[in-house]
Structure 1
């Protein structure tokens, strides 16, 4: 590959030129026998606890629509030996998405028909059950405040719903829905950058970094704060745009992921690009064209070492789920590491999530069972 094509250049294009042996050395699919033994084969979604060896598994209606928590004695125990710790009932609703809060004391689940459940962990106490205005809600916990949760309609499903509304919940309040945020364009995704700042992607290819007034975030139970984005903005004091980015081509921005250590934002879109943004630049600082609609991405909590030396630096990398079922692994900061692919799903990969130690990767695909991938050695080195 010549110098102009390396990943440190402003723009990189990749076909499937990856090395299968490299991928197999990095990840392999693992299964859990206890789920199989109980006939729970319809694993719809999964989410790792932020610190403990715990995996929340959301089942589809064929398995009575419940959440099953698997727990290992410690992080060194193989995933296949993790025990069933807890079962959470969801009124036989088919699970759509799962997510843990900042410190792992709360678990949220969303259902296909729009219900949202939040439980305490490890007690399993139900904190609240609410109905999102649209079906297929996606979940976004605030990584800087354990009680703040954002939800929005997943317009990637193409099921009729209101994509122009973002809801913010405070689980510590009796009336948890504190903000209804409306936009001129459809929200496709968000990621929290701080207690009251977030990045959001829209269906017109725009990305915005936004700030919500701190007093508004401390809203008491006097009512819901309504915020309007776009040309019809009516409450200017409650929110403001910090930065706006535009993708290379017009296409829905399917996912954004903020890296707090590097202070950069990753995004992927339906125009087949993964892009990396800095607040100091109006243009992407790194780009990768994957020749396929990109749906979801996440930064790994651990980097990859390019060789076996203990002192070798760990290189940050991204996992990104594609429409064709592939997952691309890419390090935008390392020119020597070509993009690599995991290929097991046959439909669009809705979500990819790492375990906190980088030992496992969970991937959810549309109308397919979720897959848990394990590194051959832990953590990734």
Structure 2
């Protein structure tokens, strides 16, 4: 069982407070870009290019392109060549691991895949309606660029997960996992052929492609989120009973856990940086964010930021930042170096924030708003450097 370490900052910690004031005022800058009257329900950055895809209520995709990742988002330009009409508005969106495909799930159960070729922009879509109701999530396999899974509540209100093969050389191929559960909270690829699925009944189902029923079952009462920790090669799950567990994929049993005092609604993982511990971040019902230093067998709490339940936590790809979002839809960005708050922002009343998406270079964070705008928060120091460079070239 991990032990709680001293919190990284308190109200009377003068050094940390000075650091908070300095970085919190200067580190991030917010830009907004309107997209007419259409609503943005999800957005996703390309894994290697300065491209942001937005899924719209019209059933189409709008791309925004930048000259490079450091270019201010206000200077990124819309590209409307990337449009295929779907029969319903787009609910969820995801790029595959190499950015050659973009999958979208729609409210009417349709799944669409665009084959993205940046050189000649030739797009070959496939579109199918195998789900009966809204698609809640699409997740690509990070070991196989052709494979992804989609989730919805379908016939008889039982949950199904569909696994799709988007190989250009084949007609679309889809297989169905019959889970026999009323609700799936979350799912995650844990290998090139295997999924971990958290269910309403408190089970983690391990499912394999080519089989229509789970191959094993792990028990974690109240389990909510599941994640794959690449550095540790373990499954991570969090629960509304206040526990986080780390599971061996091979032995199908937990190999570590911590118990907290509040319900846990979200979890995210980051790998081992040079000389530092593997990290697991979690968001709690009381507004606390807890950081578990797994390999050091200790955890710490980050207080004073949120006053409502934390529903999303997300590490930046480089591990330097952690974004957290609460039920009041207050966004906080923490430095993982010293765990001080470097930025915070509260949404307007008219918006409904949902997904939090980092770009691959960790200097931009996008949030879909269920409104006509997508919010992008960007590192202000790189933003200013880009402006200075542009002015030097034009002078």
Please report the TM-score for the alignment, with normalisation by the length of structure 1.
Answer: 0.69
Structure 2 contact 330–344 (Cα < 8 Å) conserved: yes
The change in CA–CA distance for 1:128 and 1:72 in structure 2 (over 3 A counts) is same
Post-superposition offset of 1:177: 1.0
Map 1:115-264 onto structure 2 (within 5 A).
Answer: 115-122=110-117, 123-153=122-152, 162=157, 164-172=159-167, 173-184=170-181, 186-204=183-201, 206=202, 208=204, 210=206, 212=208, 217=209, 219=210, 225-227=211-213, 229=214, 239-241=215-217, 244-246=219-221, 250=222, 253=224, 255-263=225-233
C-alpha distance in 2 between matches for 1:274 and 1:341: 27
Structure 1 contact 298–320 (Cα < 8 Å) conserved: yes
Which residue of structure 2 lines up, in the alignment, with residue 313 of structure 1? none
Say whether 1:104 aligns with 2:70. Answer: no
C-alpha distance in 2 between matches for 1:294 and 1:154: 25
Please identify, of 348-357 and 259-268, the stretch whose mean Cα deviation from structure 2 is larger.
Answer: 259-268
SS in structure 1 of the partner of residue 74 of structure 2: helix
Post-superposition offset of 1:132: 1.7
Post-superposition offset of 1:91: 3.5
Post-superposition offset of 1:185: 5.0
C-alpha distance in 2 between matches for 1:7 and 1:325: 24
Post-superposition offset of 1:337: 0.9
C-alpha distance in 1 between matches for 2:139 and 2:353: 17
Map 1:256-335 onto structure 2 (within 5 A).
Answer: 256-263=226-233, 271=240, 275=244, 277=246, 279=248, 281-284=255-258, 289-291=284-286, 292-304=308-320, 317-329=321-333
Higher Cα radius of gyration = 2
The change in CA–CA distance for 1:148 and 1:370 in structure 2 (over 3 A counts) is same
SS in structure 1 of the partner of residue 99 of structure 2: coil
Post-superposition offset of 1:90: 2.3
Post-superposition offset of 1:371: 2.0
The change in CA–CA distance for 1:325 and 1:119 in structure 2 (over 3 A counts) is same
Post-superposition offset of 1:101: 0.8
Which residue of structure 1 lines up, in the alignment, with residue 300 of structure 2? none
Which residue of structure 1 lines up, in the alignment, with residue 84 of structure 2? 89
Q: Which runs of 5+ in 1 are unaligned?
A: 9-17, 220-224, 230-238, 305-316
The change in CA–CA distance for 1:20 and 1:288 in structure 2 (over 3 A counts) is farther
Please report the TM-score for the alignment, with normalisation by the length of structure 2.
Answer: 0.67
Structure 2 contact 283–310 (Cα < 8 Å) conserved: no
C-alpha distance in 1 between matches for 2:152 and 2:282: 27
Post-superposition offset of 1:209: 6.7
C-alpha distance in 1 between matches for 2:362 and 2:7: 25
C-alpha distance in 1 between matches for 2:245 and 2:27: 23
Q: For 1:55-83, what per-residue CA distance to the aligned partner results, in whole angstroms no more than 9, with x for missing partners?
A: 111122xxx33211111222232222222
C-alpha distance in 2 between matches for 1:207 and 1:300: 29
Q: CA RMSD in A?
A: 3.6
Say whether 1:344 aligns with 2:347. Answer: yes
Structure 2 contact 46–53 (Cα < 8 Å) conserved: yes
Q: Which runs of 5+ in 2 are unaligned?
A: 10-18, 249-253, 259-279, 287-307, 384-395
